[in-house]
A and B are shown apart, each in its own frame.
Chain A
Amino acid sequence: MTATSLPYKTIARLWHGFLKLMGVGPVSLFRFPAACAIVGFLVVHPVSTLAFALPAIGDMPDSIMVQGKTVVLKDLQNPLRQDQANLAKNIHEGGAVYFKKCFFCHGDHLDGKGLLGERFFPPPADFTHTNSVIDLPESYAYWRIMKGGPGLPKKFAPWNSSMPAWENQLTEDEVWKVILFIFSRASERKYPEPQKIDLKPSLERGRELHLEKCAYCHGDSGKGDGPSAKYSSPQPRNFTKSHIKIRSTAFGKIPTDQDIFDRITLGMTGTTMPGWSHLSTSDRWSLVLYLKSLGRKFKRFEDKGKKHEPILIPDPPPFTLESLADGKELFLQNCSGCHGVRGRSDGASTHKIVDLDSDAIWPRNLGKPWTFRRGNSRKQLFMTLRTGLSTTSMPRFSPRIFNDQQIWDIVNYVQTLSPPKKPVLKKVITVKSIEGEVPSTPMNPAWRSVESFFIPLGGQVLDAEKLYFPGVDNIVVKAVHNNDVISIYLHWDDPSYDPILAQTASVEESPPPPLPEHLRIDEPEKEEARKPIEAQEFPDALAVQFPVTLDESGERPYFLNGDSKRPVNLWKWQSHPNGVLEMNATGLKQWTTQPKENHLILSYADYRFGRYSLVLSRKLKTDDVENDVQFAKAVKIPIAFNVWDGSQGEEGTKKAISSWFEMILE
């Protein structure tokens, strides 16, 4: 997020907080630009270190081969550009392509901040700022789309880019249309027309904006059935039913106008719905008017003279350990049934409420507050508990059930289930040097003093068969070595484990919420009541990927499982049969397993309360230098990860993937 997309209020609040912290008195407004600069620097800086410079126009080849024919790029024009009569139609059709294929990474706003924008690096191109493709000839965009990351010149490290080569996935016509769309939409953002300041909100303006901005996802008639709907999870809201997930009113009640306005402004964190704070206030109110007109409920509400009963948030009481303890008990009694005892959405009843086909998605993993739709502040959590989330299984806890203090108790406990901030992305994983034996199991306390590295994962959206919404969106890695053996610790949250793992590994499931003592029964579960343990159709799996050989020039295999010239070595752990396969690959689909007698990696896995933990260890050097990665100290060794959530049907190319990271042995 850059400073420009942070709402003014947030920036002001941060600045006020900062000054308060520094003991500085009241803030005058003219200090605001300085605040912007500081916040902007802090927010932008970590990203800019990973930024990617677009190749210059001079880096573009003279000609490329596309579907068997040579296309000369010099002087190549967009053939649809001159067709003025159909220009609007072609732009619109290009939008439909964009909102099926491109928006995951490049974002609804074409600013590179799509849902997967932060999962891969180099980050996706931002079309709305300096160095945008829209300032270059359209033939340049044609080249970049057709050839993608793999077609980049060497100095731009084509092996790192997650931009697919679209030449075999889109028709030439679709490519030209999507270029029309990108040029038209991005220039609106890059070179905005001055806004008329006191334009009054109107239904007509709302309709116009809806068709232009919202319909690609929410559909022309607002039924949530736009071209991108199939590529969205959760799916876009159907406005004709008037249910809005995030409100200040009770579960199932219609939202206030301000609720709708706030949702348009802020978006839905962790979904394909971005915030629209760059639209003028008047435009956003026009959208509110229009969205309300799509369902019957708002009018009926007004006709009956009803009044909203928004829920108010009292001032939070101070945090106490007593409140935390009470909160834990309340959480186990009332929340763990779905969220699980550690908050990793693995509750005993969770399987009952999740049905991905009908858009009933997993309850939030409370260890990942950066995916909370409303936000993770105490007040926001209070609001979610008091109002529930309409259209989901998250109920509301009204004052009929819990008093304010009890809600704060739960809030206090929930906040302890996660790190205070989203872990910062570090591209280099330090492999700590230790004395003596390396820890070979996940529960070994030696891991506690080893630094954790957060690895974001995105769906494999590059080539068929694709996976848009993987079950696992990040892993955590630690690594140590003792000059002889390297040991890699990995954990990832998966609310549904492969049941057969219980036969070969230690498994602990979230128990159902405790019953009052007098209602408990001591007898063991009846044998017949237990289902026979069967393996999942597809195992849960994780693969660690290394280049087979380390190239001193810095060239690497393609991040997506290598290429024909540069194979990768993969250590693939599977839940069934529980163990590691040593594999090699020269591409997404070109995988081979090494003969069993060559397998040298030891693995130890367990599953506890919604989380897989795994340790893989191997000697730094092996005899098979042709196929196995060889570790050396003080050298940057590329490392990447693939994860499959078998219970969601993930297998083969349908998997979560990471960009290349680097590992350095101390």
Chain B
Amino acid sequence: MANKPLKPKKLTISAMIFRPLISTLIFLLVPGIAFSGSIKGKITYSAQVKIPKSVDTGKYKKACGAEVPNEKLLVNEKGLMNAVVLIEGKKLGGKPGEYKLDQKNCRYVPHVMAMMKDSKLNIHSSDPINHNLHSYSFDNDPVNVMFLPNQDDFELEFEEPEIIKVECDLHGWMTAWIVVTDNSFFDISGQNGNFKIPDLPPGKYTINAWHEVLGSKSQTVTVGKGETVINFDFSDVAPQVSKK
């Protein structure tokens, strides 16, 4: 079938008014489709500190493996890993997600998680020995559950933004952190300290970076179209053990 030559459509007055209005609305309401910015950056830590030693599991050698890495402070070429970067504000919204936390070789995988409130977390144990997962949460319902080998997974939902420490009361070295956020604009810094938060509507924001032993830093940022670069440097902070 031959294509009909395109005939310029006659624009009605109403179309002339409404079309740009609708596209503007789409443009404003659907970030990422039309016009949105993103933030990227690097989290650095250049202070000289002792790298924490990995943990000798002693009599749990066969059950856990001989050593469990210590993940409290992971720095690679001055890039700080496992820092949670988030944008403050409830209005930003977003979509809660579904996440998985595993207890494997006597460590929590992943060690640091971030999720928007109302997200679901599925907790699994792959280990052949008992664990007990104990969350030190106050605004959310605290959790304290045993995991026997081959047991059903445990599902839970976090309703309030909060930084939650998770521990196993039976194996002292096992720790994880769950950062529950107000919106879905967050990231966790990777191996080289890099992070990226895409699809952010233009505007002025407060951006926070939090790390389990270095604490948190905050900056304000104006996001327009395209990429905005924000870096955080924690080098002036001495590592501290966070309180429960």
Listed in ascending order, the chain A residues whose CB lies under 8 Å from chain B are: 241, 243, 251-254, 300, 333-334, 337-338, 349, 352-353, 355, 358, 388, 390-391, 393-398, 400-401, 512-513, 515-516, 518-521, 525-526, 529
Taking the nearest CB of chain A, how far is it from the CB of B205, in angstroms? 26
Contact check, B129 vs A393: say whether CB atoms are below 8 A apart.
no
Contact check, A515 vs B129: say whether CB atoms are below 8 A apart.
yes
Contact check, A252 vs B62: say whether CB atoms are below 8 A apart.
no
B167: nearest chain-A partner, CB-CB? A352
Taking the nearest CB of chain A, how far is it from the CB of B70, in angstroms? 15
| A513 / chain B contacts, CB cutoff of 8 Å | 130, 170
0/1 interface trace, chain B 45-63, chain A, CB 8 Å (1 if under)? 0000000000010111111
Contact check, A243 vs B142: say whether CB atoms are below 8 A apart.
yes
Taking the nearest CB of chain A, how far is it from the CB of B122, in angstroms? 14
Q: CA separation between A526 and B139, bound complex, in Å? A: 43
Q: CA separation between A253 and B144, bound complex, in Å? A: 11
Q: CA separation between A468 and B148, bound complex, in Å? A: 39
Interface size class of B (residues with CB under 8 A): 20 to 34
A-B residue pair count with CB separations less than 8 angstroms? 82
Contact of A388 among B138, B144, B148, B170 (CB under 8 A): B144
Q: CA separation between A435 and B132, bound complex, in Å? A: 54
- Pick 6 A–B contacts, CB within 8 A, sort by A: A251-B143, A251-B144, A352-B169, A400-B151, A515-B59, A515-B129
Contact check, A400 vs B152: say whether CB atoms are below 8 A apart.
yes
Listed in ascending order, the chain B residues whose CB lies under 8 Å from chain A are: 56, 58-63, 128-130, 132, 134, 138-139, 141-146, 148, 151-152, 154, 159, 169-172, 243-244
Contact check, B59 vs A394: say whether CB atoms are below 8 A apart.
no
Contact check, B151 vs A521: say whether CB atoms are below 8 A apart.
no
Q: CA separation between A513 and B60, bound complex, in Å? A: 11
Q: Which of A400, A516, A526 has the most chain B CB atoms closer than 10 A to its own CB?
A: A400
Q: CA separation between A243 and B144, bound complex, in Å? A: 13
| B148 / chain A contacts, CB cutoff of 8 Å | 401
Q: CA separation between A251 and B60, bound complex, in Å? A: 28
Contact check, A512 vs B59: say whether CB atoms are below 8 A apart.
yes
Contact of A352 among B58, B130, B154, B172 (CB under 8 A): B172
Interface of B: prevailing SS: loop
Q: CA separation between A358 and B242, bound complex, in Å? A: 13
Q: CA separation between A243 and B135, bound complex, in Å? A: 14
Contact check, B62 vs A521: say whether CB atoms are below 8 A apart.
yes
Contact check, B62 vs A253: say whether CB atoms are below 8 A apart.
no
Contact check, B244 vs A391: say whether CB atoms are below 8 A apart.
no
Given contacts A349-B169, A395-B144, A395-B146, 6 further A-B contacts (CB under 8 A): A253-B141, A349-B172, A391-B142, A395-B169, A398-B145, A525-B58
| A525 / chain B contacts, CB cutoff of 8 Å | 58-59
Closest 10 CB pairs of A and B: A252-B141, A395-B144, A519-B63, A519-B62, A252-B142, A352-B172, A251-B144, A337-B170, A393-B169, A353-B169
B138: nearest chain-A partner, CB-CB? A241
Taking the nearest CB of chain B, how far is it from the CB of A338, in angstroms? 7
Q: CA separation between A526 and B59, bound complex, in Å? A: 10
Contact check, A518 vs B62: say whether CB atoms are below 8 A apart.
yes
Taking the nearest CB of chain A, how far is it from the CB of B9, in angstroms? 50
Contact check, A393 vs B58: say whether CB atoms are below 8 A apart.
no
Q: CA separation between A529 and B66, bound complex, in Å? A: 13
Contact check, A516 vs B128: say whether CB atoms are below 8 A apart.
yes
| B129 / chain A contacts, CB cutoff of 8 Å | 515-516, 519
| A252 / chain B contacts, CB cutoff of 8 Å | 141-144
A400: nearest chain-B partner, CB-CB? B152
Known contacts A338-B169, A358-B244, A519-B128; is A529 also within 8 Å of B142 by CB?
A: no
Q: CA separation between A380 and B23, bound complex, in Å? A: 65
| A529 / chain B contacts, CB cutoff of 8 Å | 56, 58
| B138 / chain A contacts, CB cutoff of 8 Å | 241, 243
Q: CA separation between A352 and B170, bound complex, in Å? A: 8
| A243 / chain B contacts, CB cutoff of 8 Å | 138, 142
Known contacts A393-B169, A515-B63, A521-B61; is A334 also within 8 Å of B146 by CB?
A: yes
Q: CA separation between A353 and B132, bound complex, in Å? A: 12
Q: Which of B62, B128, B141 has the most chain A CB atoms closer than 10 A to its own CB?
A: B141
| A337 / chain B contacts, CB cutoff of 8 Å | 169-170
Q: CA separation between A525 and B170, bound complex, in Å? A: 19
Contact check, B130 vs A395: say whether CB atoms are below 8 A apart.
no
Taking the nearest CB of chain B, how far is it from the CB of A607, in angstroms? 22
Taking the nearest CB of chain A, how far is it from the CB of B207, in angstroms? 27
| B145 / chain A contacts, CB cutoff of 8 Å | 251, 395-396, 398
Contact check, B61 vs A401: say whether CB atoms are below 8 A apart.
no
Contact check, B169 vs A515: say whether CB atoms are below 8 A apart.
no
B61: nearest chain-A partner, CB-CB? A521
| A401 / chain B contacts, CB cutoff of 8 Å | 146, 148, 151
| B62 / chain A contacts, CB cutoff of 8 Å | 515, 518-521
Taking the nearest CB of chain A, how far is it from the CB of B31, in angstroms? 29
Q: CA separation between A358 and B148, bound complex, in Å? A: 29
Taking the nearest CB of chain B, how far is it from the CB of A495, in angstroms? 15
Q: CA separation between A223 and B234, bound complex, in Å? A: 34
Taking the nearest CB of chain A, how far is it from the CB of B172, in angstroms? 5
A525: nearest chain-B partner, CB-CB? B58
A511: nearest chain-B partner, CB-CB? B59
Known contacts A333-B130, A521-B59, A525-B59; is A396 also within 8 Å of B169 by CB?
A: no
Contact check, A251 vs B152: say whether CB atoms are below 8 A apart.
no
| B134 / chain A contacts, CB cutoff of 8 Å | 393, 395
Q: CA separation between A513 and B145, bound complex, in Å? A: 17
Contact check, B144 vs A515: say whether CB atoms are below 8 A apart.
no
Contact check, A349 vs B144: say whether CB atoms are below 8 A apart.
no
Q: CA separation between A355 and B243, bound complex, in Å? A: 11
| B172 / chain A contacts, CB cutoff of 8 Å | 349, 352
| A251 / chain B contacts, CB cutoff of 8 Å | 142-145
Q: CA separation between A224 and B60, bound complex, in Å? A: 41
| A352 / chain B contacts, CB cutoff of 8 Å | 169, 172
| B61 / chain A contacts, CB cutoff of 8 Å | 521
Taking the nearest CB of chain B, how far is it from the CB of A125, in angstroms? 40
